[in-house]
């Protein structure tokens, strides 16, 4: 059994706790939370603490807190030369305090409190300072995920940026679709099969093969009619920029 503690009580921390509690390879020793009552229903087997001085030495401490707090939290850990990993897509491994061994344990997924996810399908990207530490992180990652990859920091940053495009920005396009439906008394439900199929297509086609629509067809009449219909300046700007980008991309092929 590998002994793991988690610092944090946000979406990533909560989903990790749930995933670890289902494995037999991991003993979840402690969960640190500033709001211990929030965690009471989630971390039933681990001891919930709200004081860094109560942290015990374990094989791995995972810091799953907001990016800007990682460095400060790592300073609070009351011992040295232990393996400490953060879960951020964008922060360098080096932001962790020098007194402990450093690692990154980055699950590439979008977590919402309200929705449980199947961790086994979530790719986890791991960084470490040496092979021994990498192996610990790999065992922990493999205990919950079928896809574990070792990458370097620059690749992780690229991956996080790609994730912002395909997930955060995509969800914002869903928001615009939702707003347009609301304004025109249409059920957003009508768009859901299209949203799901657009995502599913990507499992069998490349994005280039899957691209359809007025911009792909260079159908300037439809594009101009759509721009004339839109009254929200922000929606218009996004429509123009993404249409131009699709047309330019088509020229490269």
Footprint on residues 8-37 left by a second copy (CB under 8 A): 11
By CB under 8 A, is residue 163 in contact with a second copy?
yes
Footprint on residues 41-60 left by a second copy (CB under 8 A): none
Smallest gap from residue 28 Cβ to a second copy (A):
24
Range list of H helices, 80-231: 131-144, 153-163, 170-183, 192-201, 207-210, 220-229
| Residue 97-116 contact track with a second copy, rule CB under 8 A, x = bound | -----------xxxxx-xx-
Footprint on residues 169-198 left by a second copy (CB under 8 A): 169-178, 180-181, 183-187, 190-198
Buried/exposed 135-171: b ≥16 CB within 10 Å, e otherwise: ebbbebbebbbeebeeeeeeebeebbeebeeeeeeee
Report the residue number, 51 or 67, with the smaller CB distance to a second copy: 67
Give the Cα separation of 87 and 11 in Å (integer).
11
List the one residue from 22, 80, 205, 218 that touches a second copy (CB under 8 A).
205
By CB under 8 A, is residue 201 in contact with a second copy?
yes
Smallest gap from residue 24 Cβ to a second copy (A):
24
Q: Which has the closest alpha carbon to 24: 1, 55, 4, 41?
A: 1
List the one residue from 45, 132, 135, 167 that touches a second copy (CB under 8 A).
167
**How many residues interact with a second copy (rule CB under 8 A)?**
97
Give the Cα separation of 31 and 29 in Å (integer).
7
By CB under 8 A, is residue 241 in contact with a second copy?
yes
Give the Cα separation of 217 and 252 in Å (integer).
15
- 237: Cβ–Cβ under 8 A, 6 or more apart, which residues? none
Footprint on residues 59-98 left by a second copy (CB under 8 A): 66-68, 90
């Amino acid at each position: 059994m590998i002994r793991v503690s988690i610092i944090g009580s946000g979406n990533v921390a909560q989903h990790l706790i749930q995933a670890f509690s289902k494995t037999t390879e991991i003993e979840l020793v402690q969960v640190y939370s500033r709001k211990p009552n929030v965690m009471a229903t989630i971390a039933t087997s681990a001891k919930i603490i709200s004081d860094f001085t109560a942290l015990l030495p374990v094989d791995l401490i995972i810091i799953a807190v907001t990016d800007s707090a990682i460095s400060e939290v790592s300073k609070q850990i009351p011992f040295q030369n232990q393996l400490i990993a953060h879960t951020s897509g964008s922060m360098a491994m080096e932001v962790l305090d020098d007194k402990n061994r450093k690692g990154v344990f980055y699950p590439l997924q979008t977590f919402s409190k309200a929705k449980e996810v199947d961790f086994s399908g979530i790719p986890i990207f791991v960084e470490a300072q040496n092979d021994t530490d990498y192996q610990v992180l790999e065992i922990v990652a493999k205990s919950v995920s079928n896809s574990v990859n070792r990458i370097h920091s620059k690749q992780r940053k690229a991956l996080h940026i790609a994730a912002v495009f395909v997930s955060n920005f995509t969800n914002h396009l869903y928001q615009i679709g939702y707003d347009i439906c609301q304004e025109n008394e249409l059920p957003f439900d009508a768009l859901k099969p299209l949203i799901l199929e657009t995502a599913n297509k990507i499992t069998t086609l490349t994005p280039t093969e899957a691209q359809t629509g007025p911009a792909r067809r260079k159908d300037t009449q439809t594009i101009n009619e759509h721009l004339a219909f839109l009254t929200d300046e922000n929606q218009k700007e996004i429509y123009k920029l993404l249409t131009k980008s699709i047309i330019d991309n088509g020229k490269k092929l």
